[in-house]
Amino acid sequence: MSEAAVPAVLARRHLHPMEAAQGSILLIDDELAIRESLETLLSIEGYAVETAESAEQGLAMLSAQPRDLVLLDFALPDRNGVEVLKEIRDRDPELPVIMITAYGTVENAVKAIQAGATNFIQKPWDNEKLLADVRASISRSRMEEENRQLKRALKQRYSFENIVGKSEAMLRIFDLIAQVAPSRSTVLVQGESGTGKELIAKAIHANSPRKDRPFVPVNTGSMPADLLESTLFGHVKGAFTSAIASKKGLFEVADKGTLFLDEIGTMGLETQSKILRVLQDRKFMHLGGVQELQVDVRIIAATNVDLKQLVKEGKFREDLYYRLNVITVNLPPLRSRMEDVPMLVSHFLTRFSEENGLPTRHFSSEAMRPLLNYNWPGNVRELENVIERAVVLSSSNTITADLLPDSVLGEATLPSLSEQANASLFEIIEDCERRVIVGMLEKCAWNQTEAAERFRIPLSTLNQKIKRLSIEVRKRGRE
């Protein structure tokens, strides 16, 4: 769809007061008797009808006020009807257009349909048939537009800043991101390695008032304590042996923006105390400096370890924990939201196909089954790497199972419904979800409350899944 066509589509969905309940129609025909006859017929049926006697007049009226449908004469005095139809299609590819003519040859019908006509009727027409065609065309057009709007809404909801998922857990996270992003509150993102914690932080920043300011990530677990403090707070010349010049820290770089502290659980206690002061007072000093600097930085921290447990062990400051834990986003592991795997696969296939200049690849059903049966200990990052590898190694548009690593194929050998040749994708996903839930329930000695906590979902959600998947709950008690 061209840029010029977009306003026409939108305008057609928000018509001015002349629109009737049944819809608005523009009739373009050079014969006065035809215009009067059709206007009367359609008006009685509740349509708002306007008429034009030439192509030029009709196109001008359509530009001024788009309609729900156009009735277009095949032979107009100033232009051929097919040419007019093509111009209408360029402006609004979705607008229904019914061609109407006295020259009802097969050739004319073919030309009209090829040019994009919704339908083709011949003069003299049958009133009931014409009305039925008009009703069907407008109804179908409105339904298709509703479907497009729904798909756009679903796409936006299921793909939040490259975070892909339609599971209940991910939809709750999308809602939470939308709620917390506008605030300046500190956010703690918790989840296993590879679940996408930095993507969550970027999404919060991108949807906040700070989006035009820097987003500065730092992996606190990859640096020695001295280097980390210098990196975060900066230093003055001579602060230490190699400090041959003064240097800004990342807190200054991120001023008015967002600082993302990844793997914060690995940070030393001394550095933690300095981070706490910045959170409390918005002030800090360069290493070796004496002047206080003030910054406005939003902190988003991430961890793949249990900070509460570190607090108990004396390895993490309790006061810092509560400062960070204002709003918590708990990212579930991929194995607990296996219904998201097909959507993630599609997302990565499109991305890596485009990056490598290839036609979009797709998985064969045989290759898809191991992906749905695998436990994904490396979470989304591992799935991403597997898909990239398969795309790069593929020599055709269809990716087969031999392009998957042995680690994925090795865990995908248990007999299940997903191995039946006639199983649908829905059945494969259901079977995979059923086995994951049963496996967790067995680990928890069939304690549903414990299983729900491990899955990080409400107990009511787990119970609904158990019921939907017809899982027979066994008596509790470990063998």
Q: Is the pLDDT of residue 53 over 90?
A: yes
CA–CA dist 452, 12 (Å, integer): 48
Task: Name all domains of the chain by residue range, CATH numbers in brackets.
Answer: 5-152 (3.40.50.2300), 166-331 (3.40.50.300), 335-468 (1.10.8.60)
For the residues 30-47, what does the mean pLDDT come to? 91
What confidence score (pLDDT) does residue 476 get? 53
The confidence score (pLDDT) of residue 103 equals 63
Give the largest Cα separation in the chain, rounded.
97
More confident residue, 407 or 5: 407
Please give the distance of CA 144 from its chain centroid, rounded to a whole number: 21
Prior bond to 124 cis, omega within 30? yes
Cα separation, 270 vs 118, in Å, equals 72
CA angle 460, 371, 413 (to 5 degrees): 100
- Chain centroid to Cα 428, Å, comes to 23
Which residues are CB-contacts of 377 (< 8 A; sequence separation ≥ 6)? 335
Tell me how far CA of residue 302 lies from CA of 168, 175, 263, 393, 434, in angstroms: 22, 19, 6, 34, 31
For residue range 429-472, list pLDDT tens digits in order.
777 788 888 878 877 778 888 888 888 888 888 888 888 888 87
The pLDDT of 240-264, averaged and rounded, is 85
**What residues pair up with 328 in beta bridges, in sequence order?**
188
**Is-contact 78 56, C-beta < 8 A?**
yes
- Whether the per-residue pLDDT at 219 is higher than 70: the answer is yes
Q: What is the mean pLDDT of residues 119-146?
A: 86
Residue with structure tokens 């050739």? 107
Q: Which residues contact 364 (CB under 8 A, 6 or more apart)?
A: 398, 399, 400, 401
Output the CA angle 282-286-291, nearest 5 degrees: 75
- Cα R_g (the chain), whole angstroms: 31
User: How do residues 76-132 score in pLDDT, each as one tens digit?
Assistant: 888 888 899 989 988 888 899 998 877 656 677 777 787 788 888 888 888 998 999
Tell me: pLDDT of 210 over 80. Answer: yes
| pLDDT at residue 424 in the model | 66
pLDDT tens digits along 223-235: 888 788 888 988 7
- The sheet with strand 69-73 has its strands ordered as 48-52, 24-28, 69-73, 97-101, 119-122
CA dihedral 374, 375, 376, 379 (to 10 degrees): 140
pLDDT in tens, 292-312: 888 899 999 999 999 999 999
Contact 176, 329 (CB under 8 A): yes
Tell me what pLDDT residue 157 has. 53
Contact (Cβ atoms closer than 8 angstroms) between residue 283 and residue 293? yes
- Per-residue model confidence (pLDDT) at position 243: 65
**Spatial contact of 457 and 169, defined as CB atoms under 8 Å apart:** yes
Amino acid (one-letter) located at 419: E
* Matching residue, tokens 């509740």: 46
DSSP structure string for 297-336? -EEEEEESS-HHHHHHTTSS-HHHHHHHTTEEEEPPPGGG
Question: Cβ contacts of residue 138 below 8 Å, gap of 6+?
Answer: 22, 23, 68, 69, 96
Query: Could you count the other beta carbons within 10 Å of the beta carbon of residue 238?
Result: 11
What is the 8-class DSSP label of residue 235?
Answer: B
Instruction: Count CA atoms closer than 13 A to 232's CA, side-chain side.
Output: 29
